[in-house]
Amino acid sequence: MLPRRSLLLLSLSALACSRRPASPHRVAVAVAAASDLRFVLAELLADLRSSRPDLLVELSFGASGSLVAQISQGAPFDVFLSADESLARDLVTRGLADPRSLFRYARGHLALWVPRAPHLDVPSLGLRSLLDPSIRRVALASSRHAPYGRAAVAALSASGLTAAVTPKLVTGENVAQAMQMAQSGAADAALVSLSLTHAPGVASAGQIYVVPAALHPPIEQGGVVLRRAADPSAAAAFAEYLRSASARGIFARHGFDPPAP
Amino acid sequence: MDWTALALSLRLAAVTTVILLALSLPLAWWLATTRWRWRHVVDALVAMPMLLPPTVLGYYLLIALGPRSPIGALLLRLTGESLPFTFPGLVVGSVLYSLPFAVQPMRASFARVDRELLEAAWCLGADRARTFVRVVLPLSRAGVVAAAVLTFVHTLGEFGVVLMLGGNLPGRTRTVSVAIYDQVQSLDYAAANRTAGVLVALSFALLALTYHAQREGAFRWPTT
């Protein structure tokens, strides 16, 4: 009966089974990381591999707030790297992480990135570049659940630009999406983490203005090891590495400052 | 190109199609033949996943199956595992999400079967099950094949439900559409284009192959 369709289904399931994904027990550390860490973490993992080749790290990215929501619904992560320490502390409050495992690994900077506007002198105009009529859409991360989105809204308000710029704002779920909106040309500027403007091919493609830290609450990036970690010692080793001297150097190259003590 | 994600999506689509065919055959037949006065309520319920935005469906599934809901807590006690962020969780989500695509083509085909043929079969001594297998299914094979193909392709391209319910875990819940989303967010447009190209080519080939086979009569029911 239905010979050809059964064959099709059979061959499909055979294909699906023959390429079984890496089984969970081989994964040493599953990391849920804030989107501003996309590029720095790639480099950190390459560096970590040279000293700890046995440590297999798997990354999933999202807005810090969304990741907290997933973790509190039972998402199987071992380490959470937030863009905002307070969200990592949230998980401690909810009993999902040990307070002693809370750590700070970097301090982030907010940056304005403006591609395709050679007539504007973005570094000297600063946030006031956003008032230029050629800037019609400004992308930022959600101020509800992304720390850099909150920082962007605070910086606009501290500069007295909220009323003028709000009609131009478009919101991405996280900083990486906001960056992608500006890079694709859908938006004319992006308020994102300085780290994302260090992504390959991004820095040279636009002008960067580092928003002064005084204009927004500090972005203390913090992380936490989750209680449900499959291999707590591997998770702790990864957390330890992020605070090592060699990790600090890589963080610095991607526009992060060392964390407040 | 993320082959692991593609394999995961194919596996998800195959499992979902098999489960949905088994569930939808009786449900579609019942909907096509019942005279129960509230049947339209069931019809509307079956169509609901088509109207709900997939992320909304995914969000409520996440809450409903999560360890803090009564259903989730019961599952956790029975199986020791909670469904969100696992492959079985994605299967549950996909079955709900693709339900109308399995039920509606079959229901439409079943409704077109001439009632006199059924009565003739009963008069000749065939019971209801035998009538269904020997008369109804052969006459409705186009609807059944359409249901299977639509379910498979619809699940293959699923995004919102998987993103909410799966959590983008590589090798475990990162399906091909979520992998494309992730590649775009990594500003790696070349990789996103390659993955999307493979997905489009595969879906197109599947559809073209099925329609071709259907025209050539490969899906004819055996008559003896």
Which residues lie across from A223 on neighbouring strands? A81, A103
The DSSP call for residue A223 is E
At A187-214, the pLDDT tens digits run: 999 999 999 999 888 888 899 999 999 9
Order of all β-strands in the sheet with A110-115:
A169-172, A138-141, A189-193, A110-115, A206-210
Note whether A149 and A143 are within 8 A (CB): yes
Burial per residue of B17-46, b for 16 or more beta-carbon CB atoms within 10 angstroms, e otherwise: bebbbeebbebbbebbeeeeeeeeeeeeeb
Average pLDDT over residues B29-43: 93
Asked if residue A258 is part of any domain, the answer here is no
Task: Determine the pLDDT at residue A26.
Answer: 46
Task: Tell me, yes or no, whether A225 and A102 share the same domain.
Answer: yes
Sheet strands (E) in A116-226: 138-141, 169-172, 189-193, 206-210, 219-225
Residue B59 pLDDT greater than 90, yes or no: no
Q: Which amino acid is at A106?
A: A
Asked if residue A28 is part of any domain, the answer here is yes
Residue predicted with more confidence, A30 or A20 = A30
Average pLDDT over residues B85-98: 94
Asked if residue A260 is part of any domain, the answer here is no
Task: Determine the pLDDT at residue A7.
Answer: 44
User: What φ, ψ does residue A30 adopt, rounded to 5°?
Assistant: -100, 120
Is B209 touching A (CB cutoff 8 A)? yes
Average model confidence (pLDDT) for chain A? 88
- CATH number of the domain at A153, please: 3.40.190.10
Residue A9 pLDDT greater than 50, yes or no: no
Residue B201 pLDDT greater than 70, yes or no: yes
Indicate whether this complex's ipTM tops 0.85.
no
The pLDDT-based confidence of A5 (bands split at 50, 70, 90) is very low
When computed from its CA atoms, the radius of gyration of chain B, rounded to whole angstroms, is 20
Task: Tell me, yes or no, whether A120 and A186 share the same domain.
Answer: yes
Q: Which residues contact A109 (CB under 8 A, 6 or more apart)?
A: A193, A194, A195, A210, A211, A213, A219, A255, A256, A257
Asked if residue A2 is part of any domain, the answer here is no
What SS3 class is residue A57? Answer: strand
At B135-146, the pLDDT tens digits run: 999 999 889 999
Number of domains in chain A: 2
Q: Which of B167, B170, B169 is nearest to A72 (CA)?
A: B167
Task: Tell me, yes or no, whether A127 and A161 share the same domain.
Answer: yes
Is A73 touching B (CB cutoff 8 A)? yes
Q: Which domains does chain B have, with CATH numbers?
A: 3-215 (1.10.3720.10)
Asked if residue A259 is part of any domain, the answer here is no
Q: How far is CA A31 from the centre of its chain?
A: 12
Task: Tell me, yes or no, whether A177 and A146 share the same domain.
Answer: yes
Asked if residue A261 is part of any domain, the answer here is no
The pLDDT-based confidence of B223 (bands split at 50, 70, 90) is low
Predicted TM-score of the model (pTM): 0.79
Side-chain half-sphere exposure of A36, counting CA atoms within 13 A: 33
Average pLDDT over residues A228-257: 95
Task: Tell me, yes or no, whether A137 and A78 share the same domain.
Answer: no
Interface test with A, best of B3, B12, B168, B188 (most A CBs within 10 A): B168
When computed from its CA atoms, the radius of gyration of chain A, rounded to whole angstroms, is 21
Task: Determine the pLDDT at residue A14.
Answer: 41
Average pLDDT over residues B18-27: 96
Tell me how many degrees the CA angle B82-B15-B158 measures, rounded to the nearest 5: 80
Interface test with B, best of A6, A73, A79, A142 (most B CBs within 10 A): A73
**What percentage of chain B carries pLDDT values higher than 90?**
66
Task: Determine the pLDDT at residue B187.
Answer: 84
Q: Which of B89, B65, B88 is nearest to B75 (CA)?
A: B65
Q: Which of A175-184, B68-77, B95-104 has the highest mean pLDDT?
A: B95-104
Task: Tell me, yes or no, whether A119 and A93 share the same domain.
Answer: no
Stretch among A23-32, A60-69, A87-96, B210-219 having the lowest mean pLDDT: A23-32
Give the CA diameter of chain A.
Answer: 74
Task: Tell me, yes or no, whether A92 and A127 share the same domain.
Answer: no
Check CB contact under 8 Å for A5 and B148. yes
Task: Tell me, yes or no, whether A94 and A146 share the same domain.
Answer: no
Stretch among A127-141, A233-247, B160-174 having the lowest mean pLDDT: B160-174
Task: Tell me, yes or no, whether A201 and A224 share the same domain.
Answer: no
Burial per residue of A121-152, b for 16 or more beta-carbon CB atoms within 10 angstroms, e otherwise: ebeebbbbbbebeebebbbbbbbebbbbbbbb
Task: Determine the pLDDT at residue B75.
Answer: 86
From chain A residues 140-179, the ones with a CB under 8 A of any chain B CB are 174, 176-177, 179
- Chain B residues whose beta carbon lies within 8 Å of the beta carbon of residue A4: 213, 218-219
Task: Determine the pLDDT at residue B218.
Answer: 66
Task: Tell me, yes or no, whether A194 and A234 share the same domain.
Answer: no
- Chain B residues whose beta carbon lies within 8 Å of the beta carbon of residue A2: 145, 219
At A142-191, the pLDDT tens digits run: 988 889 999 999 999 999 999 999 999 999 989 999 999 999 889 999 99
Average model confidence (pLDDT) for chain B? 90
CA distance B61 to A222: 30
User: What φ, ψ does residue A125 adopt, rounded to 5°?
Assistant: -75, -30
Domain range holding A170? Answer: 109-215
Task: Tell me, yes or no, whether A24 and A42 share the same domain.
Answer: yes
Which residues lie across from B220 on neighbouring strands? none
Kindly report the three-state secondary structure assignment for every residue of B119-158.
Answer: HHHHHCCCCHHHHHHHHHHHHCHHHHHHHHHHHHHHHHCC
Task: Tell me, yes or no, whether A88 and A127 share the same domain.
Answer: no
Residue predicted with more confidence, A121 or B171 = A121
Q: How far is CA A134 from the centre of its chain?
A: 28
